[in-house]
Amino acid sequence: MFNYIVRRILQAIPILLVVLTLVFLVVRVLPGDPAVAALGDYASKDAVLALQERMGLNDPLWLQYVRFLGNLLTGDMGTSLVTGYSVGKQVVQALPYTLTLTISAILFGYIFGVPLGISAAVHRNSFIDYFNRIFSLVGLSVPAFYLGVLLMYFFSIRLRLFPVVGAGDPGDLGSLLHHLFLPALSLGLIMTAYVTRMTRSSLLEILREDYIRTAKSKGLAGRVVLYKHALRNALIPIVTLGGLYAVVLIGSSVMVEIVFSRPGLGKMMVGAIQQRDYTTLQSVMALYTVFVVVINLLTDLIYGLIDPRIKYD
């Protein structure tokens, strides 16, 4: 197992490096001069030249690239062109808001999605199955930000049960949770739809297998067959696809953060694009891709844990 983990981590490194290179290049081809963006259109030419020099924009591309990677490695993400604050510090402040949002949505999705999917598969073509199919079809179709807008309208504006925007008082857990609820629900419902659908379809597939028939004909109790024989095997695609959907969820979290004005990474990234704050933009984008690489890595590792067919040699 140890070798398997080490090998997977080593395989992730070159991919991460290429992805970071791409982030660096994309930010370099963005239109507009970062120095002009930082100083405003009416800045004097000398001031712009001086800032360009200070930001290292006149250095050869390879030198800027080496500096970018070196800084990332040491955790130094540079200074924001707009606020003048350290990007690293801003990221550290924003990260918990994004993490709590996505992790609670993923948990919500699994806690409700797996039982719903099981009940739909077991009671195939029943009322609960039809309800689940419609629920997951709508959940897969609705844009997260629209769901956020709807929830905000009904629960915050009409019923006044939850705050409209913001993330709450950082020192007050109750306030943080109160502010987290609707954004997490917007993403969580969508995740539930994904999880329900894949649980149902992978369980249905397994329930048709010969070994399930054998288990049943041996006279094993239905619950034992379902939970010990079927569900355990159905878990494999649920985990693999779960990783895939977690990546989709990261994209959607950007939108939900904007709808609810939640000060997470997504809001930071969109703000950076609108203000042409390129140091912030490249750091946040780099961080998002690191998330994806890590999620893929974790998916592989969990996959290795639950699928005994995977040899760890």
Partner 1 sequence: MPTDMTRRQKMWATFKRNKTALVGAVVAAIIVFIAVFAPWLAPYDPLVQDPFVRLQGTTEAHWLGTDDFGRDVFSRIIWGSRVSLIIGLASVALGLVAGTGFGMIAGYYRGKVETGIMRSVDVLMCFPDLILAIAVTAALGANLFNLILTIGIVMIPRFARLAHGQVLSITESEYVLSARAVGAGVPRIILRHIFPNIFGDLLVAATLWVGVAIRLEANLAFIGLGVSPPTPTWGNMIRQGIDVMINAPWISMYSGLSILITILAFNMLGDGLRDIADPRLRGA
Whether the CB-CB separation of 113 and 195 falls below 8 Å is answered with yes
The structure tokens listed for 182 are 């609707």
Residues that bind partner 1 (CB under 8 A): 15, 18-19, 22-23, 26-27, 29-31, 124-125, 137-138, 140-143, 145-146, 149-150, 152-153, 157, 200-201, 204-205, 247-248, 250-252, 254-255, 258-259, 269-270, 273-274, 285, 288-289, 292-293, 296
Pick 26 or 177: Cβ nearer partner 1: 26
List phi, psi (to 5°) of 79.
-115, 140
CA distance 196 to 56: 51
> What is the identity of the amino acid at 30?
L
Pick 50 or 292: Cβ nearer partner 1: 292
Pick 233 or 252: Cβ nearer partner 1: 252
Closest distance of CB 289 from partner 1, Å: 5
Closest distance of CB 29 from partner 1, Å: 5
Closest distance of CB 311 from partner 1, Å: 22
Pick 54 or 213: Cβ nearer partner 1: 213
Closest distance of CB 43 from partner 1, Å: 22
Closest distance of CB 219 from partner 1, Å: 28
Closest distance of CB 171 from partner 1, Å: 29
Q: How many residues does this entry show for the chain?
A: 313
Pick 27 or 239: Cβ nearer partner 1: 27
Whether the CB-CB separation of 190 and 252 falls below 8 Å is answered with yes
Contacts with 254 (C-beta within 8 Å, 6 or more apart), sequence order: 265, 266, 267, 269, 270
Half-sphere exposure of 134 (CA within 13 A, CB side): 6
Pick 47 or 204: Cβ nearer partner 1: 204
The structure tokens listed for 15 are 């991919």
Distance from chain centroid for Cα 181: 17
Q: Which residues pair with 79 in a beta bridge?
A: 86
